[in-house]
Amino acid sequence: MTELTQRTAAMVKAATAIGGVLVEAGLEWSTDEPVSSSAIGSIFSSMAEDALVRRLSRRERARIITALGAAKQEINRRWNEGEDLRDDGFFATNEEPGGDSFFEEIADGVIVASQREHEQRKLQHLGCLIANVAYESRVDRVTANWALRQASDLSWTHYMLLAVVANPDVVLPEHDLSVRPSWQSHSTWEAFSELGERGRNLMHSDRTGEHSFPNFRDHPRKQVRSPSGQLLALLLCLDRIPREDLEAVAEVLHEE
C-alpha cells in the first residue's frame, strides 16, 4: 500500500468520526474536502444529530455551530498542510457503557460547554480543542478532559492573559498595583493572579538567571506559561487571539 493510500485510508477511518455532526448542524463538508467521508466525519455526524435533537434555543444552536465550524476548519487546515490524524485508537469505540470513542467523549463535552458558553469569543477556541485532540496522539483521554475542564472554566479574560504573557510584542507592567483604579482593573488583576502558581498554575515567574533566593514579589512582566499553560494554549489556539485584544487587556493592567 502506498504512503498516499495509507494516509487516505487513515483519514477515511478517522473522519467518519466528524462528518455527521456537521451535516446535522448545517455544516456539511464540501465534496472536495478530504475529511468528508472519513471516520471523524461519521462520529461528528451522529454526535451533532444527538446534540441538535435536544431542546436548544436559537442562541444555543448558533453557539454549537460556531464551535463545530471552527473545529472543521482547523481539521481541514492541518490535513491540507500534510498532517495525519492520530491512529492510536482514539476514534475507536470502547468497551465502557455507551461504547463511545474517547474522541466522541471530548467532542460531546465541547458541544455541551459551547451550548452554555455566554462568552462568544471563546467558541472558536473550544472548536480548536476538538480539532487538535484529533491530531495529537500525545494528548491522552485524561489530559484531553483536563484541558476541556480548564477551557470551560476560564473566562475570555483568562484566555487573553494566558496569550499575552507569551507575546513579546505586548509589554506588561513591572509590578502589581497596591491601589487599583477601577473594578475592571481589579477584576483583570484577579484573573491574572488566578492563572498563577497559587491558582491554576498555568503560568509562573521566570526565574532564569536569578539566585536561589527568590525576589519578594514576582513581576507580571516576568510571568511565563507553565508546561500545563503552554499545552492548554496550544490546544485552544490562544496565540491566534488578535494583537489588539492583547494590547487592550495589557492596557487595563497598566492603569494607575
Q: Give the model confidence (pLDDT) of 65-90 as tens digits.
A: 899 889 988 988 998 898 988 888 88
The candidate with the shortest Cα–Cα distance to 21, out of 33, 39, 9, is 39
The candidate with the shortest Cα–Cα distance to 44, out of 21, 76, 28, is 21
Q: Are residues 9 and 117 in the same domain?
A: yes
Domain that holds residue 230: 158-254
pLDDT, tens only, 156-202 = 999 999 999 999 999 998 877 667 889 999 999 999 999 998 899 99
pLDDT, tens only, 135-145 = 999 999 999 99
Helices marked H in the chain: 3-15, 19-24, 39-52, 58-80, 102-116, 123-135, 141-153, 156-164, 183-194, 227-235, 243-254
pLDDT surpassing 70 at residue 93:
yes
What cell was used for 162?
494566558
pLDDT surpassing 90 at residue 56:
no
Q: Are residues 132 and 170 in the same domain?
A: no
Q: Are residues 211 and 128 in the same domain?
A: no
Length of the chain: 256
- Average confidence (pLDDT) over 216-230: 82
Query: How far is 158 from 163, CA to CA, in rounded Å?
Result: 9
Q: Are residues 148 and 163 in the same domain?
A: no
pLDDT surpassing 60 at residue 19:
no
Structural element, H or E, at residue 224: strand 223-225
> Could you tell me the pLDDT band of residue 45, with boundaries at 50, 70 and 90?
low
Q: What is the pLDDT of residue 214?
A: 53
Angle between helix axes 3-15 and 39-52 (nearest 10 degrees) is 10
Q: Are residues 143 and 54 in the same domain?
A: yes
Q: Are residues 141 and 28 in the same domain?
A: yes
Question: How many domains are contained in the chain?
Answer: 2
> Could you tell me the pLDDT band of residue 209, with boundaries at 50, 70 and 90?
low
Q: Are residues 65 and 139 in the same domain?
A: yes
Q: Are residues 76 and 194 in the same domain?
A: no
pLDDT surpassing 60 at residue 212:
no
Q: What is the pLDDT of residue 90?
A: 87
pLDDT surpassing 90 at residue 10:
no
SS3 172: coil
Q: Are residues 201 and 109 in the same domain?
A: no
